[in-house]
Amino acid sequence: MSDEEQYVVLTENDVSQWDDKTGERYHFPKQYSKSIKPGMQFVYYKGRLKPENKAFEGQRLSKSPHYFGIGRIVDVQPDKAGHLIATLSDFQAFGEAVLAKNDGNYLEEIPESKKSNYWRVSVRKISKSVFDNIVLNAITSAPLSLNDAFPKQDEKENEKDEESLVSYEEGKKSSKYVTVYERNLKLKQQAKALHGTTCLACGFNFGEFYGEYGQDFIHIHHVLPVSLFGKSKRVDPKTDLVPVCANCHSIIHRKKDRTLSIEELKAMIAIKNKKAI
């Protein structure tokens, strides 16, 4: 899949015929079989609250059409009736609703040919830019609202571990930037929300391997080593930060005089896997 084919909107209705569970299981008609594939990232959407469904108001972030969380498609399988079930992971709920319409403009890009019935489609492919915009709107409107999606018990320990893995020369001012950037929890949260919690190098996911205890745990790696900043630099979580597992992060920073790129590490893993076949 190309970058522009990896994102999709999943509509969750207040009343449904399906036995779904938010963030874990999503039923959808077989007509959308080409719209959902394993590995895709999704955004949850709810339409306007209908008067007859007022009892569900307390279970929603807004009565207006809005987005309320993100996650990843793990698997897609048919059910007994011939429809499909998507298994979901890495679910992160928004603390506040991201309204579908902002300053008079919809966050989704609506093709001219589909304007008349666009919102009737319950599963909608979106571009990476639309996905990123929705996530950044969630973070901007409620910068601390995603905290529940990121376990707090290991924050201090995780920061200490990650800080020890950064390449820098002793005594230089750059070491100060290491501490500042590695402990910026908001940047970590943004990176997790944008890129997920699966290692970009080897594909390892702590939640899938260890279950609930490992859910949402991942190291966040600076693509450009902090030691090369030279001075204070604005970090963009979309382009400057990526998720990697602890093993890959250790290898990336194994030598203080050299920091491996993600591409170099992927090549090492590919060679190893090829030899194992």
Distance CA(248)–CA(266), nearest Å, equals 10
Question: What's the 3-state SS for 130-168?
Answer: HHHHHHHHHHHHCCCCCHHHCCCCCHHHHHHHHHCCCCC
Question: Please, what is the end-to-end C-alpha distance for the chain in angstroms?
Answer: 24
Whole-number pLDDT of residue 32: 92
11 and 101: one domain? yes
Q: What share of the chain is helix, strand, coil (3-state, %, to 5)?
A: 35, 25, 40
| Axis-axis angle for helices 174-182, 155-163 (nearest 10) | 150
pLDDT in tens, the chain (277 residues): 555 568 999 999 999 888 899 998 999 999 999 999 998 999 999 999 999 999 999 999 999 999 999 998 988 999 888 899 999 988 888 889 999 998 889 999 998 888 888 999 999 999 999 998 998 888 766 543 444 433 344 444 444 444 334 433 333 444 333 334 344 677 787 788 888 899 999 999 999 999 888 888 899 998 876 555 445 567 788 888 899 999 999 999 888 778 889 999 999 998 888 766 6
- How far, in Å, are 79, 87, 132, 241, 277 from residue 16 at the CA level? 16, 17, 28, 38, 46
Q: Is the pTM of this model over 0.75?
A: no
138 and 207: one domain? no
184 and 87: one domain? no
217 and 167: one domain? yes
142 and 9: one domain? yes
We report the CATH number of the domain holding residue 40 as 3.10.590.10
Q: Find where tokens 């279950």 sit.
A: 211
| Axis-axis angle for helices 128-141, 185-195 (nearest 10) | 150
31 and 118: one domain? yes
Chain mean position to CA 113: 30
- Domain housing 51: 3-147
154 and 265: one domain? yes
Distance CA(146)–CA(243), nearest Å, equals 17
161 and 32: one domain? no
